[in-house]
A and B are shown apart, each in its own frame.
Chain A
Amino acid sequence: MSAMKLSASAIAVIAASATVAMARDNVQVAGSSTVLPYATIVAEAFGENFDFPTPVVEGGGSGAGRKKLCEGVGENTIDIANSSSRIKQSDIDLCKQNGVEEIMEVRIGYDGIVFASDIAGPDFALTPADVYNALGANVAKDGALVANAAKNWADVNAALPAQAILAFIPGTKHGTREVFDVKLLEEGCKATGAYDLFMAASTGADEDAKKKESVEKCLELRTDGASVDIDGDYTETLARIAANKTAVGVFGLSFYQNNTDKLKVATIDGVVPSVESISKGEYPVSRPLYFYVKKAHLGVIPGLQEYIDFFVSDDMAGPDGPLAAYGLVSDPELAATQAAVAAGTPMGPLE
């Protein structure tokens, strides 16, 4: 039996492949699953029109992507982290610690977050206050904080359908959840007066501690099953809505636009979410999308500079480009971003 021979040849193969030059010739990207479709669209067009290989784009989530970016400098670390929320000081510190000194921050545009329900169901016209009163753990009622007892949307606001409250919202690992928290729950909490009551009841040492505690209270959601965290992707939320026709789910605008035959979108403060209403600043629930580039890899990884230039070019990220066609709200300050990318300006400290 040639087990020995096989082993020997196997080791030879490994040795041979290990001596193959390790130089990586493709750009490596990881991060937010919201940015992922945009990044693949750009990567595909980049591979088609340039002589460089198509960049490899991974998902995995904004936080995971930034952590990978900060693992260190070298060809077995990634070049770009996509992120649907801004980088955190802890990420920057981690980067510094691992020798990743300079990072470029590139804002590629904005993304809307929408509430949508089954296409055959009733219309929803929501406000942040409605959302808070429907989903918050404690709500303000007659000037006092009470545990949320609303069963129907009509209990929250008589103008809403008399339909049981059931909302599928993104789980805490999603960047989308942060926007949901800040733009809907916190706003709604302040609008309904619950925030002031939390402030009054707070036992924090000083004003800042009280504010922090109150905001945290605002973000607490009811736990009786009316609000369900979805840790998967929007496809899971869509499947849940298909099974629960009366439920309302939170989606990215681009996902909704690709499934307009199954979903009906809710207005927020009377504004229908669309690329136009978000770019005009009328629709309140939107957020910027970013990617972060490791500057030490520029000039080392072939095609990296060309890829980021191409990403923010008018052909791609402009208002008539393929990214806008897919649902990205293009950045009105794109020209400034292009200049910063071309000049390789690293990001300053977070304010």
Chain B
Amino acid sequence: MTDASMHDAAPQNRPASLLTADARTRRRKAAETRFRLMGVAAISVGLLALVFLLTSVLGNGFGAFRQTVVEIPITLDEAVLDKSGTRDLEVMKKVTTIGYGKVIQKALEAELANRGIDTSAVKAKDVMGLMSKEAAADLRNMVLADPSLLGQTITFNAFATSRVDGFFKGRVTMESAKLDSNISPEQLQIAQAMHDAGIIETKWNWGFLTMSDSSELRPETAGLGVAILGSAYMMIIVLVLSLPIGVATSIYLEEMAPKNKWTDLIEVNIANLAAVPSIVYGILALALFINFMGLPQSAPIVGGLVLTLMTLPTIIIATRAALKAVPPSIRDAALGVGASKMQSIFHHVLPLAMPGILTGTILGLARALGESAPLLLIGMVAFVKDFPAAPPQGLMQPATALPVQVYQWTQRSDPAFVERASGAIIVLLVFLLLMNAVAIVLRRRFERRW
């Protein structure tokens, strides 16, 4: 180390040897060390926050991917489920889930007696309370889909209620059950006995990704199906609309537009729009797409359009940067060998700028995927149970989105939804990571530097 190159050096104080540092050198070194430490501290704080977030989300959320299932044989009694014996679907539909619930209750009681599990400590209703209320609906749908099952004995899988599920995941304990109005320790003892007998089991639950939302009475059956579908529909709309519009705008502004007051104004506005809070776009969408154009509420098409508006500035800015990064010599060479302006852009400039454009687009899409505020105003923050159909009709049918589902589940009173909200965050994070990874790969593989 030497300060010979420093123009404000003070040579009269220079020590006899270069190997012994004088006060000033030590000060400079100390300053550098302090700066390094500050940098390390800043990164550590960030990392700590990330670790805290990830541990809390992963710790809470992994449970959502596993679910406790009860497996019992059920004899589908013809006399109860199809009194007329005609197998006429319209007549069979008259038997509601309440009727099917009784069939399940009978089968469950028989199976417990068969396995020698003592249920005398609780009421018959409470034994049934171990099973999800969805079970009856599942069985009804199964029978209505295939009436030939009537009269047979089938092995029926149903979810256990969220409290029983929580017991096997450690969220509910005998102590908390004593205070809990939804489950009693006696019920949990029966559940434990069923577990020991092998008719209750906690297993991997694809349903979390494929099933739709559920009411607060049955959190165990809540899934992300509708939300994933809704998010996918919106992303398709955003991609199909914002990429061509954004690229066309950028090419015009970057390559063709004259530099004057108007284009300056447009540029400033695009840069400002990129920073406008997303809720503002929601208000715009409500006024324009729903109230003025009459598009339906809660529909992915409106969500897709509003997210397109929100993503466009991001894509335009990224695309213009990518176009700017292509050296002028490429354009000059193309023009020099007789290409038209259009040919030079589409044959030479755009292909070279493509990796940058795609990276910007994917990052814009990732931001749109995580957006929930504008969806609040267009009715997508809602309880949607039915799956939307395939596009194009499905685009007009109600759906939700992934971040919206997280928001909704955190508001519910049943503690089981906390776990599912964290699970949904994990799914959202995985999608975001995948999109960012694709962006990085594209940049690494195709980007050229001059």
Residues of A within 8 A of B (CB): 1, 3-4, 6-7, 9-10, 13-14, 16-18, 20, 22, 24, 26, 28, 30, 33, 36-37, 39-41, 43-45, 47-49, 51, 53-54, 56-60, 71, 74-78, 119, 233-235, 254-255, 257-261, 315, 322, 325-326
Assess the B395–A17 pair: CB atoms within 8 A: yes
Grouping DSSP codes into helix (H, G, I), strand (E, B) and loop, the A interface class, with mixed when no group exceeds half, is: helix
Known: A28-B298, A48-B137, A261-B179. A56 touches B383 (CB 8 A): yes
Assess the B240–A254 pair: CB atoms within 8 A: no
Smallest CB gap from A47: residue in B: B385
Smallest CB gap from B172: residue in A: A261
Q: Which of B353-408 contact A (CB under 8 A)?
A: 376, 379, 381-386, 391-393, 395-398, 408
Task: Identify A1's interface contact among B176, B216, B346, B376, CB under 8 A.
Answer: B346
Assess the B240–A13 pair: CB atoms within 8 A: yes
**For the complex, what is the distance from the CA of A51 to the CA of B244, rounded to whole Å?**
42
Task: Identify A234's interface contact among B247, B413, B415, CB under 8 A.
Answer: B413
Known: A37-B216, A49-B97, A59-B381. A75 touches B296 (CB 8 A): yes
B179 / chain A contacts, CB cutoff of 8 Å: 119, 260-261
Known: A10-B244, A43-B215, A315-B98. A54 touches B413 (CB 8 A): no
Assess the A58–B296 pair: CB atoms within 8 A: no
Smallest CB gap from A57: residue in B: B383
**For the complex, what is the distance from the CA of A200 to the CA of B42, rounded to whole Å?**
61
A119 / chain B contacts, CB cutoff of 8 Å: 179
State the Cβ distance, B428 to closest chain A Cβ, in Å.
19
Interface size on B, as a range, is 35 or more
**For the complex, what is the distance from the CA of A195 to the CA of B436, rounded to whole Å?**
62
Interface string of B209-251 (1 = CB under 8 A from A): 0000011111000000000000000000000110111011001
Known: A13-B392, A22-B296, A43-B385. A6 touches B410 (CB 8 A): no
Assess the B215–A44 pair: CB atoms within 8 A: yes
B381 / chain A contacts, CB cutoff of 8 Å: 58-60
Assess the A58–B379 pair: CB atoms within 8 A: yes
State the Cβ distance, A162 to closest chain B Cβ, in Å.
25
Q: Could you write out 26 A-B pairs with CB less than 8 Å apart?
A: A1-B247, A6-B243, A7-B248, A10-B241, A13-B240, A17-B301, A17-B391, A17-B395, A24-B296, A26-B397, A33-B411, A36-B383, A37-B412, A44-B215, A48-B97, A49-B97, A56-B382, A58-B382, A71-B291, A76-B294, A78-B297, A119-B179, A233-B411, A235-B412, A322-B217, A325-B217
Q: Which of B282-304 contact A (CB under 8 A)?
A: 290-291, 294-298, 301
Residue B33 CB within 8 A of the other chain: no
Assess the B392–A17 pair: CB atoms within 8 A: yes
Assess the A45–B294 pair: CB atoms within 8 A: no
Assess the A76–B216 pair: CB atoms within 8 A: no
Residue B3 CB within 8 A of the other chain: no
Residue B182 CB within 8 A of the other chain: yes
Instruction: Identify 12 new A-B residue pairs, CB closer than 8 A, beyond the known A6-B240, A7-B245, A261-B177.
Output: A3-B251, A7-B244, A13-B240, A17-B391, A22-B294, A40-B216, A44-B217, A54-B386, A57-B382, A76-B297, A78-B297, A235-B411
Assess the B176–A261 pair: CB atoms within 8 A: yes
Residue B180 CB within 8 A of the other chain: yes
Top-6 shortest CB links A-B = A54-B385, A7-B244, A261-B176, A57-B383, A40-B215, A58-B382
Residue B447 CB within 8 A of the other chain: no
State the Cβ distance, B396 to closest chain A Cβ, in Å.
6
State the Cβ distance, A175 to closest chain B Cβ, in Å.
15
A36 / chain B contacts, CB cutoff of 8 Å: 383
Assess the A58–B383 pair: CB atoms within 8 A: yes
**For the complex, what is the distance from the CA of A178 to the CA of B297, rounded to whole Å?**
30
A255 / chain B contacts, CB cutoff of 8 Å: 413
Task: Identify A76's interface contact among B97, B182, B296, CB under 8 A.
Answer: B296
Residue B17 CB within 8 A of the other chain: no
State the Cβ distance, A2 to closest chain B Cβ, in Å.
9
B177 / chain A contacts, CB cutoff of 8 Å: 261
State the Cβ distance, B216 to closest chain A Cβ, in Å.
5
B214 / chain A contacts, CB cutoff of 8 Å: 44
Assess the A59–B411 pair: CB atoms within 8 A: yes
Assess the A53–B413 pair: CB atoms within 8 A: no
Assess the A76–B295 pair: CB atoms within 8 A: yes
Assess the A3–B244 pair: CB atoms within 8 A: yes
Assess the B383–A40 pair: CB atoms within 8 A: yes
Residue B44 CB within 8 A of the other chain: no
**For the complex, what is the distance from the CA of A259 to the CA of B214, rounded to whole Å?**
19
A7 / chain B contacts, CB cutoff of 8 Å: 244-245, 248
**For the complex, what is the distance from the CA of A256 to the CA of B177, rounded to whole Å?**
15
B295 / chain A contacts, CB cutoff of 8 Å: 18, 76
Known: A58-B382, A76-B294, A78-B297. A259 touches B215 (CB 8 A): no
Known: A7-B245, A44-B215, A76-B290. A53 touches B396 (CB 8 A): no
Residue B427 CB within 8 A of the other chain: no
State the Cβ distance, A228 to closest chain B Cβ, in Å.
19
**For the complex, what is the distance from the CA of A318 to the CA of B294, rounded to whole Å?**
38
State the Cβ distance, A115 to closest chain B Cβ, in Å.
17
Smallest CB gap from A78: residue in B: B297
Smallest CB gap from B417: residue in A: A235
Assess the A254–B413 pair: CB atoms within 8 A: yes
Smallest CB gap from A25: residue in B: B397
Q: Which of B187-215 contact A (CB under 8 A)?
A: 214-215
Residue B414 CB within 8 A of the other chain: yes
Known: A59-B411, A76-B296, A119-B179. A22 touches B396 (CB 8 A): yes
